[in-house]
Structure 1
Amino acid sequence: MKTINIEGLEKYLIDEDGRIYSTITNKYLKTSINRKGYEGIKLNKKSYRIHRLVAITYIENPNNLPQVNHKDGDKSNNNVSNLEWCTNGENQLHAFATGLNKAKKPKNRSLTDLQADEIRKEYLTSNTSQRKLAIKYNVSKTTIADILNCRYYNFDKDKEPIKMQKTQRKLTLQDAEDIRQRHKEGYSISSLSKKYNMTWKSVKKIIDYKTYNK
């Protein structure tokens, strides 16, 4: 099996199965499994995950995607054919689909990790508020903020905190008319909600003339 030099680590080569070869010792190096089940190795006093080294070396990433996914859900299968670059959201959805993320409720927590991920997904896709989520899940706004900022619940260093919505400004009747006109011109409700810093439901009500009528 062919081996290729690892970018930035010229004294080490890696094959398509993720085996690391040292040109210093002329031997394949031993790896270890971390507490999350990922195979890793320390090179030049720095720790690396094997699947990321394989992806960086063998798989093109033209869209500069941040994470590497194991297609079959097996963290020990680091062959290049089993890896793909993906977004954080795609990686999480795949983890649920393959059973890697399972609901668990640690001590002193009112929600499971699965519920925390549901909250993150709902906040991103529905433009709901932190207050409404706190009421729905019977927790404090602080807990919701902790979840959105990747603190405590199902924390992974690869996850990125979600940008919080700013306080919604008061709209004028002219703003409402602009929203309706832009929607007719082809703007989506999601894009309008971001532009005017409103929830998806609020924009929909304006478009349907349920609010801001003359």
Structure 2
Amino acid sequence: MTIKEANENEEEWRDVVGYEGLYVVSNYGVVKSLGNHRGRKEKIMKTHVCRNGYEKLDLCKKGQPTKKVYVHRLVASAFIQNPLNKEQVNHINCKKLDNKLENLEWVTRRENIAHAYATGLMKKNNKPVVAIHIETGEKQEFESQTEASRQLGVNMNIIYNALQGRGTKQSEWKFERVS
């Protein structure tokens, strides 16, 4: 291994934004609480995996309530410029627990969803739907909820709720899945 390769593989630490002097985060996705002059020792923070699959931990600051934060957001905030103020952090390789710097990027919500579709994390719901006009009984079949929403001018949530068996009086149509 050359000196250059060794330097590229070194763990780099930066202050956690908003908790400077209390916590640092590394480019490998590790968070450490810093020691102080009153005997508190430096230690690696324990994380837990949330129901949504992301790593989270609690940060404390004197006089403020404990804050639950995602590790990937701490890494991105400390290491990645965000001049366009994009609001979400994307895991490039789709592994939610891989919080290394090279796996993260700032994205818009739309970019994050497009990435999820492109990588197969999300699949389009293209199940056929039948719309039945409440007054006339007229039936129309659509390739998907989205298509029914576009052509009938009915909000997607109304169609979704109707398909889930939650009746709604907000539309002149009722909806069923094609069997």
Query: The TM-score by the shorter chain falls in which range?
Result: 0.5 to 0.7
State the secondary structure of the residue aligned to 2:23. Answer: strand
Q: For residue 132 of structure 1, report the CA deviation from its aligned partner.
A: 2.4
Distance 1:82 1:146 in 2: 37
CA contact (8 A) 1:130 1:145 kept: no
Code of the residue aligned with 1:22 in structure 2: it is S
Indicate which of 102, 106, 127 corresponds to 1:81: 102
Indicate which of 95, 98, 113 corresponds to 1:92: 113
Q: 1:78 to 1:133 in 2, by over 3 A?
A: farther
| Structure 2 equivalent of residue 19 of structure 1 | 30
Distance 1:146 1:13 in 2: 46
Q: 1:32 to 1:103 in 2, by over 3 A?
A: farther
Q: For residue 60 of structure 1, report the CA deviation from its aligned partner.
A: 0.1
Q: 1:146 to 1:93 in 2, by over 3 A?
A: farther
TM-score, normalisation: structure 1 = 0.51
CA contact (8 A) 1:33 1:39 kept: yes
**Two-structure CA RMSD over aligned residues (Å):** 2.9
Counterpart mapping for 1:156-171 below 5 A? none
More helix by share: 1
Indicate which of 33, 48, 51 corresponds to 2:49: 33
| Structure 1 equivalent of residue 122 of structure 2 | 101
The structure showing larger relative contact order (alpha-carbon pairs under 8 Å, at least 6 residues apart) is: 2
Code of the residue aligned with 1:27 in structure 2: it is K
Counterpart mapping for 1:43-62 below 5 A? 43-44=59-60, 45-62=66-83
State the secondary structure of the residue aligned to 1:84. Answer: strand
The alignment of Structure 1 onto Structure 2 pairs a total of residues equal to: 123
Structure 1 residues 60-82: Cα deviation after superposition (integer angstroms, max 9, x where no partner): 00111111111111111111111
Indicate which of 13, 18, 34 corresponds to 1:8: 18
TM-score, normalisation: structure 2 = 0.60
Structure 2, unmatched stretches of 5+, are 1-10, 36-40, 61-65, 131-143, 162-179
| Structure 2 equivalent of residue 201 of structure 1 | none
Moved over 3 A (4+): none
Pair 1:132 & 2:151 matched: yes
More strand by share: 2
